[in-house]
Amino acid sequence: MTLASFISCTTFPGGTPIPYGGTTQSKGIELVGKGSPGASYEIVENSNVLAHGNFNRSGAFVEQLQNLPLGAHLFELREHASALPTSDWALRIGNRRPIGSILVGPSPWGLTLNEEGSRGYVPVGGKLQVIDTDTSTLLAPINIPQLINSWGMALTQNGTRAFVLNNSDTLVVDLTTSKVIATLPIHGTWIVPSREGSKVFISNYSLHALAVVDSQSFLFSNIPVGQLPRQLATSLDGNRVYVAYSSNAVAVVDARTLVVLKQIHTGFPVYGLAVSPDGNHVYAAGTADAQRILVKFDTSTGSTIWTLNTGTGTRGLAVNHSGTRVYCCYRDQESKVITIDALSSQVIATTQLPVGPMSLEISPDDQNAYVTCLDSHIVSVIDLVPGASDAQAQAVSSLADEDVKRIPKELFPGGVD
């Protein structure tokens, strides 16, 4: 028996392909599926049956859905009303998001998107700035007087709770009430949530450990991983946590048993870290033998797949959700983000930015990157659609009167210079 599954999606009319997680302006789509000949199926969204029928003699169907509302959609395919979904297709209907720069405040380091990608959160002094990603504009901030300097945050509880790194501790904020509900004695330099949201992983810099926090009780333990841990990344399946530390290596931690499984020896201190969606590769950026490099490693063997000489200060890394592109921030000399073909290591696009890009997040539909520019006090929104990445990010006129300076490394553990 063949499990029912979606195999493609296009606009209707027109027939333009819509990739999984993609964005379209069309309110009509055409879904194609496969399954067992003659078997029944239903297409469901939010428990509402949008279409139903039987697979034809070739084991296929074509369904057209029209007059769909703007916003995010997740269509599920199941055999009948009491069956579990066997396939899904995610997409977003709406206009392209505006690109450009958003002035957020002093020293923005990390940005976190919620699961739908509709909101971006940027911790800066005294507040969380909230970005409406559909309009690329700021909403009302969440004031946190205790927040001094921050290197990032993580969302849990379906986006209603934030764990925010703060100077020498970590704040837990209830986003529904805008209240700090706990302060944890964790001196963190990087933070990521577990994929299912039950835990939060924090680089405990001063204790040379990976702090593992229960997102409900806030109880935590420390796993020794190596000297001065910094960047973290998790595999898409949630099974592995990767921890970069100053002794020229990346620790691989089992996210369920919390055991260090192995070390990937990089040969250089890592300043940027990202994992491919399939978990087969880790990308690490840093400086080796006075050369600024980006290296792709095989996670099972630790061997090097390719090395790219970047020639400048490489910082934040991100991989798109399809695993085909790697995006890399350059902070020194040239302020830009480069787009790299993940298979060949070829640089295929360059986007010039204001001073100091440090980290970036990719929207769930792979259409946009959100780049924090530490020294310019902004978040730049970049269009990642092929052909658009070469365009310069738009400037913000209000930056003209800003005193833009490089942030001294003493403000950040591990330094940024």
* Residues facing 210 on adjacent strands: 203, 223
> DSSP for 299-352?
TTT--EEEEEE--S-EEEEEE-TTSSEEEEEE-SSS-EEEEEETTT--EEEEEE
Q: What is the CATH number of domain 5-93?
A: 2.60.40.10
CATH topology of domain 100-396: Methylamine Dehydrogenase; Chain H (2.130.10)
DSSP string, 40-80: EEEEEETTEEEEEEE--TTSEEEEEE-SPPSEEEEEEEESS
Q: What CA–CA distance (Å, rounded) separates 363 from 118?
A: 9
Assign 103 to helix, strand or coil: strand
Note the pLDDT of residue 1. Answer: 62
Per CATH, 5-93 and 100-396 having the same topology is answered: no
The domain ranges of the chain are 5-93, 100-396
DSSP letter, residue 205? G
* 3-state helix, strand and coil shares in percent for the chain, rounded to the nearest 5: 5, 50, 45
Query: pLDDT tens for residues 242-260?
Result: 999 888 999 999 999 999 9
Contact indicator for 180, 144 with CB cutoff of 8 Å: yes
Q: What is the mean pLDDT of each run of 10 residues along the chain (417 residues)?
A: 88 88 88 94 92 94 92 88 88 84 92 92 95 93 94 92 94 95 94 92 94 96 92 90 92 95 92 91 86 91 93 84 90 82 91 89 90 93 67 37 39 42
**CA–CA gap between residue 379 and residue 408 (Å, rounded):** 19
* Cα–Cα distance, 40 to 83 (Å, whole number): 11
